[in-house]
Structure 1
Amino acid sequence: MRIPLAYISIILIWATTPLAIKWSGEGPGFLFGVAGRMSIGAACVVTLLLLMRQRLAWHRQARLTYLAVALQIYGSMLAVYWAAQFIPSGWISVIFGLSPLITALLSAIWLRERSLTPGKLLSYGFGIGGLTIMFGSALQFGPEAVLGIAGVLVSAFLQSASAVWVQRIQAKLPALSQVAGGLLLAVPAYWLTWWLTDGQWPASLPPASLASIVYLGVIATTIGFVLYYYVLTHLAATRVALITLLSPVLALMLGHTVNHEPLTMKIATGTALILAALFMHEYFDRIVGYLVRKTTAKRLRSSA
């Protein structure tokens, strides 16, 4: 029961995170927004460690795991916060939905998993088709929207690489320790990046931005990341990435309803193709295998 509950919680958190990311950067800037979020998250996670009297391991595998987690917390999140300036929040979740396909490719190369079956290769075609339509739709919003899509793709790649790297290391650390170690590496990097590229304390901090930063720090970072790495410890990286099958639809609906973001036919078509790609990626080979087994069994009964 714990794993399904954690899985559902991650879906809901990921569905609300894109809009919160967009709001958190409106006013103070995206760098301050993400640095503030991760600082709050780090404080919460360290507090939890102290309350649970859980110490961080510092052996070689642990250090490598923290570095792999930091790749997602710093690299992936920095890219998506930058991209959120240029595209509607719902698009972030939709494009991020391609991460299972990226994860499957990286798992085949890095973990030698049998993750490039005919069904999964066919799903790549649907995913690329959906992404092409999304790029075409972005051109209507200007060249910056194309940059936003590219930024989310970079973010999805870095998150997938981080997930596969964590599984390759196999340090078997508690989820809370993984997040704490990654945050301890990522937070100084964020503030250094902010100081070098901006360095200006925001003149104003709108209530929506402040609430979003706090929500992202306490819920999305502390609870969301811990649940994510908890599930990642118990399930295959490709199955964990399928959380993005449901969250894009919820994120699009939320952005359209709450933030009045456009929802055109092109966006709906591109989203549908990407979601179809995710569905095929997970179930096409299973359905074909089931039909083959059923046909074979029927033939054996007939011949008998």
Structure 2
Amino acid sequence: MSLPAAYLGIILIWSTTPLAIQWSTEGAGFAFAVLARMAIGTLVAGLLVLVGRVGFPLHARARRAYLSGGVGLFGAMALTYWGARYVNSGLVAVLFGLSPLFAAILAALFLGEQALTPARLTGTLLGAAGLGVIFVHGDSLGGEHALAGLVALLAAVLVYSGSLVSLKHICDDSPPLATTVGTLSVALPFFALLWLLSDGQIPAAIPPRTGAAIVYLGVFGSVLGFALYYYVIKHLEASRVALITLITPVLALLLGNLLNGEEIGLRLWAGTGLILLGLAVHQSEMWRPLLRRLAGSGS
């Protein structure tokens, strides 16, 4: 597989996922939308494991990884789908850009990692300032329930970051596709229960755009994006992979404005800029070797 194509694929998938999440809930309900997405993702990933004869470990460490990943996936996606109905789609990507900052704090608290260096602490404070700017008048970002949506999305980012830290602590070495299947298989019953408790109704008619968004998220968002990400981090240094988290929020905001008519006010741009600046400072230590290499090649 071409590495540039895989890198570009991740950017495109991560940039379009927030808007696809919003479209997938139109006329279908958030619980049905996320259940259908995860069912499609489980089926596709399972077929790929069978056809590709990928090993599916069931030892204790793998089972812990599947359980931790599945519970984290359910919590993060349930909150994301609920909250995404009330805010601009691009803001979903902006808030999830905070996940490296949250993960560093959680790793320092629960794993004892020396993660809060001066650069990372400064980046975290800048990210918090950007978040504060967005929250000051959150009711202007999507509707009357926008503040509730923002809180739900922030909780989703926290759950997602906690799941990443937990998986790092477990340190399972199962194939990425097997981890995908295991994680989705654990999460799927929880999504089914959420759907039953919410309304338990299958929509009589699913709009074409809604159906296309659900299928897109099931195949690309839940399976292909995950596989491409693991492929890229295996072949590229972390500094270049980290650039993805700086690119996707801006693209997601622009796509929401262009394709969904979402207004991007000055406050949202200012908050986004502070968050991205904080993320850049937070990860600056990883980029120093890359910058030195670029400077050396230019001399």
Provide the TM-score with structure 2 as the length reference. 0.89
Seen in structure 2, the aligned counterparts of structure 1 residues 7 and 228 have a Cα distance that, compared at 3 Å, is: same
Seen in structure 2, the aligned counterparts of structure 1 residues 44 and 285 have a Cα distance that, compared at 3 Å, is: closer
Unaligned runs of 5+ in 2: 293-299
Aligned-residue offset at 1:235: 8.1
Unaligned runs of 5+ in 1: 292-304
Check conservation: 2:71, 2:186, Cα contact below 8 A: no
Seen in structure 2, the aligned counterparts of structure 1 residues 216 and 251 have a Cα distance that, compared at 3 Å, is: same
1:255-277 Cα shifts (integer Å, max 9, x gaps)? 00111100111111111111111
Check conservation: 2:98, 2:127, Cα contact below 8 A: yes
Computing the radius of gyration over CA atoms, which structure comes out larger, 1 or 2? 1
Structure 1 counterpart of 2:189: 188
Counterparts of 1:1-304 in structure 2, within 5 Å, are 6-140=6-140, 141-230=142-231, 243-283=244-284
> Residues of 2 paired with 1:204 and 1:88: CA distance?
25
1:85-138 Cα shifts (integer Å, max 9, x gaps)? 110101100111111100111222334332201111111221111111111231
Aligned residues: 289
- SS of residue matched to 1:116: coil
> Residues of 2 paired with 1:109 and 1:242: CA distance?
26
> Residues of 1 paired with 2:173 and 2:240: CA distance?
18
Check conservation: 1:89, 1:251, Cα contact below 8 A: yes
Seen in structure 2, the aligned counterparts of structure 1 residues 192 and 103 have a Cα distance that, compared at 3 Å, is: same
> Residues of 1 paired with 2:21 and 2:286: CA distance?
36
Check conservation: 2:69, 2:183, Cα contact below 8 A: yes
Aligned-residue offset at 1:243: 3.2
Q: Which sits farther off after the overlay, 175-184 or 235-244?
A: 235-244
Aligned-residue offset at 1:72: 3.4
Q: Which sits farther off after the overlay, 106-115 or 166-175?
A: 106-115
> Residues of 2 paired with 1:237 and 1:192: CA distance?
37
> Residues of 1 paired with 2:72 and 2:213: CA distance?
20
Aligned-residue offset at 1:142: 4.8
- SS of residue matched to 1:246: helix
> Residues of 2 paired with 1:279 and 1:133: CA distance?
18
- SS of residue matched to 2:86: coil
Structure 1 counterpart of 2:295: none
Matching residue's letter, 2:20? A
Matching residue's letter, 2:9? S
Identity %: 44
Q: Which sits farther off after the overlay, 132-141 or 115-124?
A: 132-141
Aligned-residue offset at 1:155: 1.2
Matching residue's letter, 1:119? A
1:187-243 Cα shifts (integer Å, max 9, x gaps)? 121112101221111122111100000100111111112233455678899986663
Q: What CA RMSD, in Å, does the superposition of the two structures yield over aligned residues?
A: 2.5
Aligned-residue offset at 1:40: 0.5
Provide the TM-score with structure 1 as the length reference. 0.87
> Residues of 2 paired with 1:286 and 1:235: CA distance?
12
Matching residue's letter, 2:41? G
- SS of residue matched to 2:63: helix
Matching residue's letter, 1:155? A
1:267-295 Cα shifts (integer Å, max 9, x gaps)? 111111111111111116976xx99xxxx
Q: Which sits farther off after the overlay, 62-71 or 28-37?
A: 62-71
